[in-house]
């Protein structure tokens, strides 16, 4: 979509020239319409959505954020809503139900055709965040004894109703997962070949596994579909790469937001109302402000020292800044390493050893540099204080920053939550304590109160 096209749509919507909008929309692809929707305020999103052709509307709806879906749904007549929900894929339907008031979701569930209700109800039984809620119960299942010709027949018969035909699930008579067979291998084999000769073994996930971990596995294996099984290895669904990518994108948006100290926005930036932007950030900032009070407490303890040597105040932002940055460097490195499974929580010993070495080295470099800059201007005492403080602060910050994400993961808290802002505050308070302790010792001053 060109910027011109979007500006045209926005102008036509503002002028309420609905015929004009409809004619522009008819020339746009689903991706272009989605891009336009992402940039509109919510009342205009609803207006635009109502102007879409039914099939296009369905394709657009499936790709919208659940928060936006809920708003659009609120504007639909009851029969429109029932038919929309009936047409959704079961996994998208479950996600929408999670957003809707329980009563509405319940009414919609009972309004479904028996076939669609049979697919949806079991998924609603799995816990939020589990693979079972995000899987697709519609897939092609074949037996090892079937031939290639029989398999292609089945694909042709059920192919248009399932999530994907590129990966077919191979099971035994009691639905136990045996493996998968790729459609290209089926097409390349001769018609009489039994599936038992061309299938391969596969990784699988259980329905109660964490959906994000399952999605990561699916993407890492570059699998078009990953089988989802119950506790007895019986096949109950598939996680497609499409859905895996959606799960990972949401997880990455969440990580990025939390690393910056905000809750993730549940809808595109430009269509998020200001008060929601504020709310996403204020809660975090209040938590941080309260913990920043710690730094006031630490400094208060050393107020007398500060009074005797005001020059010490000059270096406060520099030292806390470097400490905070060292800590967040380590935290973001380890958060990412955990996310891509390069490191596991059990590696904490190795990580602490490595970060201690990294922190010491960096502290030595920065300390030497600080000494050389500070000594000629402020004297050798201040030079020594700066150098020793940098050495200690860098080491502690790197170790704590590196260890925190692993501890968070062990405690089943989001590692990104422990990242930048939390570590900065921790390093600020600790850094100040170290700074003034060293300064008091070297300058021979009283330690305050």
Which residues inside 322-341 make contact with a copy of itself, applying CB under 8 A? 322, 324-326, 328-329, 331-337, 339-341
Indicate whether 129 belongs to the interface with a copy of itself (CB under 8 A). no
Instruction: From 72-80, 130-138, 241-249, 436-444, give the range in contact with a copy of itself by CB under 8 A.
Output: 241-249
Instruction: Tell me if 284 contacts a copy of itself by CB under 8 A.
Output: yes
Binding to a copy of itself by residue 181, rule CB under 8 A?
no
The reply on whether position 282 binds a copy of itself by CB under 8 A is yes
Please report, as residue ranges, which positions from 11 to 30 form the binding site for a copy of itself (by CB under 8 A).
Answer: 29
**Based on the number of CB atoms within 10 Å of its own CB, is 385 exposed (0-12), middle (13-18) or buried (19 or more)?**
buried
Q: From the list 277, 372, 380, 441, which residue makes contact with a copy of itself (rule: CB under 8 A)?
A: 277
Q: At what angle do helices 18-25 and 42-50 cross, to 10 degrees?
A: 70
| Sign for the pseudo-dihedral over CA of 67, 69, 73, 75 | positive
Cβ closest to a copy of itself, residue 100 vs residue 218: 218
Q: How crowded is the C-beta side of 270, counted as CA atoms within 13 Å?
A: 9
Q: How far is the CB of 317 from a copy of itself (least distance, A)?
A: 4
Q: Does 256 bind a copy of itself (CB under 8 A)?
A: yes
Query: Do residues 292 and 425 make contact, with C-beta atoms less than 8 angstroms apart?
Result: yes
Q: Can residue 67 be called a binding residue for a copy of itself (CB under 8 A)?
A: no
One symbol per residue from 337 to 376: x for binding a copy of itself (CB under 8 A), - otherwise; what is it?
x-xxxxxx-xx--x---x--xx--xx--xx--xx--x---
The Cα-based distances of 86 to 109, 239, 259 in angstroms read 9, 20, 38
Under rule CB under 8 A, how many of the chain's residues touch a copy of itself?
110
**Residue (of 204, 142, 136, 134) closest to 175 by Cα position:** 142
Closest to 82 in 3D by CA, of 102, 104, 62: 104
Residue 24 or residue 397: which is nearer to a copy of itself going by CB?
Answer: 397
Spatial separation of the C-alpha atoms in residues 403 and 353, rounded to whole Å: 10
Closer to a copy of itself by Cβ: residue 83 or 206: 206
Computed on alpha carbons and rounded to an integer, the radius of gyration of the chain in Å comes to: 29
Least Cα distance to 143 among 132, 151, 135, 155 occurs for 151
Task: Please state at what angle helix 66-74 crosses helix 42-50, rounded to 10 degrees.
Answer: 70
Q: Check if the beta carbon of residue 382 is closer than 8 Å to that of residue 374.
A: yes
292 binds a copy of itself (CB under 8 A): yes
| CB-based contact 87:61 (threshold 8 Å) | no
Q: Which one of residues 45, 147, 295, 389 is an interface residue with a copy of itself (CB under 8 A)?
A: 295
Please report how close the Cβ of residue 19 comes to a copy of itself at its closest, in angstroms: 25
Closest CB 306 distance from a copy of itself, rounded Å = 5
Tell me how far, at minimum, the Cβ of 263 lies from a copy of itself, in Å: 10
Q: Does 278 bind a copy of itself (CB under 8 A)?
A: yes
User: Is residue 155 near a copy of itself by the rule CB under 8 A?
Assistant: yes
Angle at which helices 114-124 and 90-99 cross, to 10° = 60
Q: Which is nearer to a copy of itself, 229 or 319 (CB)?
A: 319
- Binds a copy of itself (CB under 8 A): choice among 159, 376, 379, 446: 159
Q: Is 59 in the site for a copy of itself (CB under 8 A)?
A: no
Q: How far is the CB of 250 from a copy of itself (least distance, A)?
A: 11
Which CB sits closer to a copy of itself, 108 or 399? 399
Site string for a copy of itself, 304-323 (x = CB under 8 A): --xx--xx-xxxxxx-xxx-
Residues 5, 48 contacting (CB under 8 angstroms): no
Sheet holding 177-182, edge to edge: 141-142, 167-171, 177-182
Q: How far apart are the first and last CA of the chain?
A: 66
* Helix/strand/coil for 171: strand
Contact string (CB under 8 A) for a copy of itself, positions 413-432, x = contact: ------xxx--xx--x---x
């Amino acid at each position: 979509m060109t910027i011109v096209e979007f500006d045209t749509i926005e102008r036509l919507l503002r002028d309420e020239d609905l015929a004009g909008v409809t004619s522009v929309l008819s020339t746009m692809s689903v991706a272009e319409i989605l891009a336009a929707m992402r940039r509109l305020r919510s009342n205009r999103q609803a207006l635009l959505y109502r102007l879409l052709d039914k099939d296009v509307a369905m394709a657009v709806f499936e790709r919208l954020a659940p928060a936006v879906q809920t708003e659009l749904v609120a504007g639909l007549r009851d029969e429109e809503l029932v038919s929309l929900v009936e047409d959704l894929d079961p996994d998208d339907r479950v996600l929408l139900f999670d957003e809707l008031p329980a009563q509405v979701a319940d009414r919609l569930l009972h309004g479904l055709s028996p076939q669609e209700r049979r697919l949806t109800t079991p998924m609603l039984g799995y816990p939020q965040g589990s693979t079972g809620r995000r899987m697709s119960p519609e897939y092609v299942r074949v037996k090892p004894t079937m031939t290639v010709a029989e398999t292609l027949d089945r694909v042709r018969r059920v192919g248009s109703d399932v999530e994907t035909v590129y990966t077919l699930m191979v099971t035994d008579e009691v639905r136990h997962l045996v493996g998968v067979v790729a459609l290209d291998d089926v097409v390349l084999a001769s018609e009489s070949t039994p599936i038992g000769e061309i299938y391969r073994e596969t990784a699988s996930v259980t329905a109660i596994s964490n959906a994000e971990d399952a999605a990561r596995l699916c993407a890492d294996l570059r699998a078009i579909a990953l089988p989802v099984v119950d506790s007895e290895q019986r096949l109950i669904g598939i996680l497609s790469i499409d859905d895996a990518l959606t799960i990972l994108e949401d997880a990455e948006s969440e990580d990025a937001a939390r690393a910056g100290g905000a809750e993730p926005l549940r809808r595109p930036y430009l269509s998020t109302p200001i008060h929601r932007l504020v709310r996403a950030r204020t809660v975090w900032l209040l938590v941080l402000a309260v913990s920043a009070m710690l730094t006031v407490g630490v400094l208060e303890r050393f107020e007398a020292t500060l009074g005797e040597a005001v020059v010490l105040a000059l270096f406060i932002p520099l030292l806390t800044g470097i400490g905070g940055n060292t800590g967040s460097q380590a935290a973001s490195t380890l958060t990412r390493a955990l996310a891509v499974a390069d490191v596991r929580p059990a590696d904490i010993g190795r990580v602490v050893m490595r970060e201690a070495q990294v922190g010491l080295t960096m502290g030595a470099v920065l300390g030497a540099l600080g000494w050389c800059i500070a000594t000629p201007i402020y004297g050798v005492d201040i030079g020594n204080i700066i150098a020793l403080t940098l050495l200690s602060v860098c080491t502690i910050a790197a170790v704590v920053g590196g260890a925190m994400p692993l501890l968070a993961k062990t405690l089943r808290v989001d590692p990104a939550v422990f990242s930048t802002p939390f570590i900065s505050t921790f390093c600020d308070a600790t850094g100040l304590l170290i700074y003034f302790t060293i300064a008091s010792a070297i300058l021979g001053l009283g330690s305050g109160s």
